[in-house]
Structure 1
Amino acid sequence: MTEKSNSPYLKAQRLEDVIAAIQVMGKYGYYKLSPEKWADRISGDINQSEHWKLVFSEHPEFFRYDSAREKVSLAWRRNYRKRYNVDSQAEISFEEFKSLDDEQKARVSRLPLTGDEVAILVNTAINLHARAIEHNKEYRWMSSPLFSLLGVALGAFLVWLGK
């Protein structure tokens, strides 16, 4: 028998939240921020940080916390080198990066995702959402006949006991 899905994609407005987070986190100059700062960037409300913490933690297929569990980033973006100058909005060379002082290095992030990369992540989220819905449909389809059969068997057993 198929088990009912506990997918976080089945939560109300979850797909919309995941898509919004992917878009903002994929394109924003800095690749890693605290959940409070992401809440402000994504929804315009820093008070929604607990909601976004839950979204980030329930979707490790897209989002990762740093080792201190204080900042969050897109998993895909973490794989790029820190070579994006947020002030000039341009990629810098390794030599340019090495020549920067600590204050200037703090203004260097990982490259933003391209539009195609963001689209791939959004499509992945949509596909995962669709799979979760299909998985739930399978469960509902299996449960009705199963409960009907159990009811018939119980009724037959009770009739047999009554004889």
Structure 2
Amino acid sequence: MGTYKFYKLDFAGWADRISGDSRLAEYWKGVLSEHPEFFRLDADREKASLVWRRQHQKRFHVDAEKTLSKDDFHELSDEEKARVSRIPLTSSEIGTLVQTAINLHARALEQKTDSRWWIVGFFGILGALVGALIHSWAA
């Protein structure tokens, strides 16, 4: 998503680019919708893009693969402007996004593990109570 020529696509387009199967559009819609820290949907909620890439100006000519100056952009026809997208992310920016995603995932796993601390204690106490009941019943 950070390096494709066009920064914003519909879900079928992203499904095809990411997994090679446009039929997985609903799956990818769910993934992209669940992570607003990385992705934004358009006003109609039919297309998605990376938040970071949206911060760049629309000055990248996808056919010429070059960044246009403000004057060059304004000299383009409307048809040519349709071939202009946001500047692709650098490898450093993509690396930062990947590292951030890994860190967020690791924290989520830690939280999930931390939220289960009571399970071991609960079953230990439950086992002791059941053992005491069995012992008192057998006596």
User: Is 1:138 the equivalent of 2:114?
Assistant: yes
For 2:36, the aligned partner's letter is: P
Match of 1:128 in 2: 104
The equivalent position to 2:2 in structure 1, one of 2, 19, 26, is 26
Taking the aligned partners of 1:106 and 1:93, their CA distance within structure 2 comes to 16
**Normalised TM-score (structure 1):** 0.75
For 2:32, the aligned partner's letter is: F
Higher relative contact order (CA 8 A, sep 6+): 1
Match of 1:63 in 2: 39
RMSD (CA atoms): 1.8
Structure 2 counterpart SS, 1:28: coil
Match of 1:49 in 2: 25
Taking the aligned partners of 1:55 and 1:67, their CA distance within structure 2 comes to 18
Structure 1 counterpart SS, 2:2: helix
Larger Rg: 2
Taking the aligned partners of 2:6 and 2:72, their CA distance within structure 1 comes to 18
Match of 1:112 in 2: 88
TM-superposed CA distance for 1:144, in Å, is 2.3
Taking the aligned partners of 1:43 and 1:27, their CA distance within structure 2 comes to 16
For 1:59, the aligned partner's letter is: H
Taking the aligned partners of 1:37 and 1:69, their CA distance within structure 2 comes to 14
Structure 2 counterpart SS, 1:120: helix
For 1:103, the aligned partner's letter is: E
For 1:120, the aligned partner's letter is: T
TM-superposed CA distance for 1:154, in Å, is 9.9
Match of 1:21 in 2: none
TM-superposed CA distance for 1:152, in Å, is 6.4
Q: Tell me the matched-pair count.
A: 132
Match of 2:61 in 1: 85
Taking the aligned partners of 2:80 and 2:111, their CA distance within structure 1 comes to 49
TM-superposed CA distance for 1:146, in Å, is 4.1
Match of 2:71 in 1: 95
Which consecutive unaligned segments of at least 5 residues does structure 1 have?
Answer: 1-24, 157-163
Match of 1:75 in 2: 51
Which consecutive unaligned segments of at least 5 residues does structure 2 have?
Answer: 133-139
